[in-house]
A and B are shown apart, each in its own frame.
Chain A
Amino acid sequence: MSEPQHILLVDDEDGIRKVLGLTLADRGFTVHAAENAEKGLALFRELKPTIVITDIKMPGMDGLELLRTIKAEAQGDHGHDAEVILITGHGDIDLAIQGIKLDATDFVTKPISDDALDIALRRASERLNMRRAIREHTQELERLVEQKTRQLLAAERLAAIGQTVAGLSHAIKNMASGLEGSIFLLGKGLEMDRRAYLEQGWEMLQANVEKIKNLSLEMLRYAKPEALKPTLCDPALPAREVTELLQLKAKAAGVELSLSQPPDMAPVRLDAEALHRCLMNLVGNALDACQAAGFGPDAPGGQVRLAVEPVPGGGVRYSVSDNGCGLDAEAKSRLFTAFFSTKGEGGSGLGLMTTKKIVEEHGGTIAVTSEKGSGTAFDVVIPGQGELNV
């Protein structure tokens, strides 16, 4: 052992403290002595020795009580454990056994022989080493588990991306076909001077470029999630922006898009840009659902309502409801999975998944209620932060 080990020696007999103290110092230990258990405990807490040798029978607190206290404190958060060797008088075997039950290392009988002392000390030092090894092993295991967990998460992420690509292959091949088709039609249009081919090719090119742009941007967002940047802001702001942006599209689709927000909402800590994306998705879906239900410029009556309201605790609730085509049970159960889309060619199957992810990163929840044929309502709740309530 490189540095001297500290031993606390507790005995009410002056002579034993002196003789045993010398014997221990002789073996290279630094010895601290106390004449009763109370003082011993105080020294123990202060000096944190690795070995304690204590008499059992002492006035006041006895050796077993000292042992019990030390072992109990070792269970605590900042507890310091030590090997405790008991000194017993002749015929105190019952007390010694009680001591062993309390996790004493060993006991030596008065008068203390050098051999018995050496055996007890060796046992103490073995147990100390073992405990250190176990502690190091545990730490190593914890480190390994953490490392493996990280690798597992990374692998899962990769698998998700792989799955993404596989799930998209049909959509990608169709888009590639669309591009091939556009080039062919534009080429033939030019070559044969056929305006109809030129127009079809041009329309096809625009539609497919738009699809590819949207899909790749969304995949980018999914593969490399930006960290949220929450700030204290007006929670109605993203709702106002989205309502304004989609107003024209709604009008063109014969849908009445309305926003309700209470005046003077308390600020909420959230990433307004991310929430903007969520509401864009939800309101955009609601408009599509109205279209799918048959509402249109010549068949008005579609309604999409976006409502913002405070929730207890300083949070905010966004609800988006429509009277569109609604969802069946199967669609509802698969709504938030990647690449599930009810819109056929029109949907990437990533919008709601991304929305859910953003909401959950805010510590929030998203819920849906819908009946096939009678509309859908999404409810997003972003909780308030404790600090805002103080």
Chain B
Amino acid sequence: MTKVPGRARVLVVDDEMHLRLYIAAVFETAGYETATARDGEEGFHKAFEWKPDLVSLDLMMPNQGGIRLFQRLKADGELKKAGVLVVSAIGGEAFRHSLSLVRSGMLSNDGGPLPDVDGYVEKPPSPEALLQEAARILEAKGATAQGALTQNIDAEH
């Protein structure tokens, strides 16, 4: 897999096949490169091999859930550079509350506290919310936010 220069990579991790297809298609049609994974374990391996710029992450998944994957990504010297966008059925308020509980009780592997997730979209995610949140995260990270993306959003509105 060779990285096309200028195209940001999004790894979509969700146990629901339809959501994987949908979210991947949203990023794909906006000009991103995409890959998908079904759970935290698969997600970590794909991330390790493929080095995404952004991971779109479902929290409640069988086998290895999203929080554990988030923790593993942040513990990896290379992978922690990737932005993490949580896409979850848990409502915004409840999400932030449980996340702060989880973070307060959990340290990243280098001993520091677990950082906050970079962005959050509640299910059902709208294409606009996904793209805007992704662009914001990538811009903040200084990564090349996809040029085609902004054009695409402009074209749709």
User: Which A residues are closer than 8 A to B by beta carbons?
Assistant: 169-170, 173-174, 176-182, 184-185, 188, 192, 197, 200, 204, 207-208, 344-345
Contact = CB atoms under 8 A, between A and B. Distances in A.
B89 A169 contact: yes
Contact of A184 (B22, B89, B122): B22
Given A170-B60, A170-B89, A173-B89, A180 B25 contact: no
Interface in B104-124: 122-124
Contacts of B26: 184
Interface stretch (B13-21, B47-55, B69-77, B136-144): B13-21
B125 to A, nearest CB: 7
A182 B62 CA distance: 24
Contacts of B123: 173-174, 176-177
Interface in B1-27: 16, 18-19, 21-23, 25-26
Contacts of B19: 174, 177-178, 181
Interface of B: 16, 18-19, 21-23, 25-26, 29, 60, 62, 89, 122-127
A181 B89 contact: no
A188 B124 contact: no
A173 B23 CA distance: 14
Contacts of A169: 89
- Give the secondary structure class of A's interface: helix
Nearest to A191: B29
Contacts of A178: 16, 18-19, 22, 124
A185 B16 contact: no
Contact of A200 (B25, B89, B125): B25
Given A184-B22, A184-B25, A185-B21, A174 B16 contact: yes
Given A173-B123, A207-B18, 12 more contacts: A173-B122, A176-B124, A177-B124, A178-B16, A181-B21, A181-B25, A182-B18, A184-B22, A184-B127, A185-B25, A344-B62, A345-B16
Top 10 A-B residue pairs of the complex, sorted by shortest distance between their CB atoms: A181-B22, A177-B124, A176-B124, A173-B89, A173-B123, A178-B18, A180-B124, A170-B89, A177-B123, A188-B29
Contacts of B22: 177-178, 180-182, 184-185, 204
Contacts, number: 60
B26 to A, nearest CB: 6
A271 to B, nearest CB: 37
27 contacts: A169-B89, A173-B89, A174-B16, A174-B18, A174-B89, A174-B123, A177-B16, A177-B19, A177-B22, A177-B123, A178-B16, A178-B19, A178-B124, A179-B124, A180-B124, A180-B125, A180-B126, A181-B18, A181-B22, A181-B25, A182-B22, A184-B127, A185-B22, A200-B21, A204-B21, A207-B18, A208-B18
Contacts of A184: 22, 25-26, 127
Contacts of B89: 169-170, 173-174
Contacts of B23: 181
Contacts of A208: 18
A345 to B, nearest CB: 7
Nearest to A175: B124
